[in-house]
Amino acid sequence: MPQKLHYLRESASQTAGPYVHIGLAPGAAGFDIFEQELGRDIAGPNAEGERIRVEGLVIDGTGHPVKDVLLEVWQANAAGTYPDTEGKGVEDGFRGWGRVITDFATGEWSFDTVKPGAVMGRHGRMMAPHLNFWIVARGINIGLSTRMYFGDEDQANAEDPVLNLIEWEGRRTTIIAPRQDREGTPVYRFEIRLQGENETVFFDI
Amino acid sequence: MNDGEFYQRDRRLHPPALTPDYKTSVARSPRFAAISLQQSASEMTGPTFGHGDLGPLDNDLLMNFAKDGEAPVGERIIVHGRVLDENARPVPNTLVEIWQANASGRYRHKKDTYLGSLDPNFGGCGRTITDAEGRYHFRTVKPGAYPWRNWVNNWRPAHIHVSVFGHAFCQRLITQLYFEGDPLIPKCPIVATIPDPDAIEQLTATLDLNATIPLDSIAYKFDIVLRGRRSTYFENRPEGN
């Protein structure tokens, strides 16, 4: 027998199930228990940069919206910096992380934040501005990771090292959200299609 | 220095996306393969949480919803353990969140219509932050099994849902804790989405009599393992090298 490596194995994932809201968004489950629900304020009041809204639907393989999904987002600030392990290095109050659930009736979700800046990628190549998403729900056995890029960043998107990893150019557009202007607020609409036509690109990170 | 990438996730111990015996997965699973990324700051950083985010009773489910002087009905238990990485190093200062049904198997959720009764003194959610050694603990009642509409007579084993962050967005994990000896575990199509029997054992909390409070609460031990991170022995290669 050669030497043993003695690594532990990662705990296996399980679906978040239909009642994920109880633990992670109890107000939506129908009761208030915590002083403060986490994930509602991503950028805080001091964050620099353009204030934006991001919204969309998560759509299943039958074309119907998923109404019991929970999404988390992780992003850099407008200067392209992520908070460090102490939560510092960014504006006071900038958490960079958010959590939203879908409306039970319509499946619509949305959050307000600031548009992130470009982040340094591997080998000194800049990545286009993007939001990192993690999606869990009943029927999803392991959280799905994807990114959302911004539809008004054509030049940066064309050079983005991650978008360019997707060899099927037609699939790249599934993670680029078009920008619209709604009463002076920029809104990016990001439809996440779990399966079928125009299936969203998911990443194994 | 300990600042390299996280180890590749072993997709053969995790459930695949499509597991037809768990019916809801059929329409909610991508058909294309996920695209593998070499990690950047986007994956290797993650949110931090502080004690200012939490209330004093957030990890005590016997108290955090009960009326003054009352307590929920059910088997009083302590769930404790450590959050570790694959290198067996503790993961300190990380947020652990749990949610569960009450002793009757009923969730306090407006969409749960099961006949099992609600407990006026039980909410069913808790959260805590691991200490410097990665330790955490909760006090709660042992949840009951409950039926669900998959096959017509499926029953979930008693379980507590567990959500953990780690220190990087790529460590993010939601799983379920099961209880040692529960005969429903091998019958459950959601448990069976996990292809590896050892990985199922690893989600089964062990009765820990040494951690009980005599004449008060039984204890179960449940360690959670997140992805480990490699050491950077050598400089990053320049592009094209």
Q: Please, what is the average pLDDT of chain B?
A: 95
| Domain membership flag for residue B171 | yes
Other beta carbons within 10 Å of A27: 13
| Domain membership flag for residue B176 | yes
- Confirm if A34 and B123 have CB atoms less than 8 A apart: no
> Residue B235 — pLDDT band, cuts 50, 70, 90?
low
In this predicted structure, what is the pLDDT of residue A30?
Answer: 87
| Domain membership flag for residue B5 | no
CA dihedral over A191, A50, B38, B10, signed as positive or negative: negative
A54: Cβ contacts below 8 Å, ≥ 6 apart: A73, A110, A111, A113, A131, A148, A177, A187, A188, A190
- Tell me the chain B residues in contact with residue A12 when contact means C-beta distances shorter than 8 Å: 13-15, 175, 194, 196, 199-200, 202-203
| Strand ranges, E, within A128-202 | 130-136, 144-150, 176-177, 179-182, 185-189, 192-193
| Domain membership flag for residue B128 | yes
Closest CA to A205 of B41, B1, B201: B41
Residues of B carrying an active site annotation: 107, 146, 156, 159, 161
Contact A13 B35 (CB under 8 A): no
A77: tokens are 């600030």
- Which string of b and e fits B133-163 if b means at least 16 CB within 10 Å? ebebbbbbbbbbbbebebeeebebbbbbbbb
> What is this structure's pTM?
0.96
Contact A132 B26 (CB under 8 A): no
In this predicted structure, what is the pLDDT of residue A11?
Answer: 98
CB-based contact, B22 to chain A, within 8 Å: yes
**Cα(A10)–Cα(B13) distance, integer angstroms:** 8
- Tell me the chain B residues in contact with residue A141 when contact means C-beta distances shorter than 8 Å: 14-17, 19, 22, 25, 29, 193
Residue B162 backbone dihedrals phi, psi, to 5 degrees: -130, 130
| Domain membership flag for residue B63 | yes
Name the residue of chain B whose CA is nearest to A200's CA.
B30
| Domain membership flag for residue B175 | yes
In this predicted structure, what is the pLDDT of residue B23?
Answer: 98
CATH number at residue B123: 2.60.130.10
Segments forming the whole domain that contains residue B100: 53-225
In this predicted structure, what is the pLDDT of residue B240?
Answer: 43
Is the pLDDT at B2 greater than 70, yes or no? no
What is A9-64 written as a DSSP string? -PPPP----TTHHHHH-HHHHT----SS-TTS-SS-TT--S-EEEEEE-EE-TTSP
SS3 B23: helix
Contact B43 A205 (CB under 8 A): yes
> pLDDT tens-digit profile of A132-172?
999 999 999 999 999 999 999 999 999 999 999 999 999 99
Q: Which alpha helices (DSSP H) does chain B contain, by range?
A: 41-44, 197-201
The strand pair at A119-120 and A126-127 is best described as: antiparallel
> pLDDT tens-digit profile of A45-80?
999 999 999 999 999 999 999 999 999 999 999 999
> pLDDT tens-digit profile of B172-224?
999 999 999 999 999 999 999 999 999 999 999 999 999 999 999 999 999 99
| Domain membership flag for residue B23 | no
| Domain membership flag for residue B42 | no
> Residue B241 — pLDDT band, cuts 50, 70, 90?
very low
Contact A205 B49 (CB under 8 A): no
> Residue B231 — pLDDT band, cuts 50, 70, 90?
confident
**Cα(B66)–Cα(A115) distance, integer angstroms:** 42
Cβ–Cβ pairs < 8 A, chains A and B: 269
CB interface of B with A, residues 131-160, below 8 Å:
none
> pLDDT tens-digit profile of A89-118?
999 999 999 999 999 999 999 999 999 999
Neighbouring-strand partners of residue A181: A186
CB interface of B with A, residues 161-220, below 8 Å:
161, 163, 167, 169-170, 172-176, 190-191, 193-194, 196, 198-200, 202-203
**Cα(B203)–Cα(B178) distance, integer angstroms:** 6
The strand pair at B35-36 and A119-120 is best described as: unpaired
> Residue A32 — pLDDT band, cuts 50, 70, 90?
confident
Contact A29 B108 (CB under 8 A): yes
Name the residue of chain A whose CA is nearest to B26's CA.
A139
Name the residue of chain B whose CA is nearest to A38's CA.
B53
**Cα(B109)–Cα(B192) distance, integer angstroms:** 26
Q: Please, what is the average pLDDT of chain A?
A: 96
- Tell me the chain A residues in contact with residue B29 when contact means C-beta distances shorter than 8 Å: 61, 139-141, 194-195
> pLDDT tens-digit profile of B98-150?
999 999 999 999 899 999 999 999 999 999 999 999 999 999 999 999 999 99
Nearest beta carbon to residue A29 from set B11, B32, B109: B109
Closest CA to B126 of B92, B82, B91, B96: B96
Name the residue of chain B whose CA is nearest to A65's CA.
B28
DSSP label at A124?
Answer: G
Helix-strand-coil percent breakdown of chain A, rounded to 5? 15, 30, 60
Domain count, chain B: 1
Other beta carbons within 10 Å of A190: 25
**Cα(A81)–Cα(A162) distance, integer angstroms:** 18
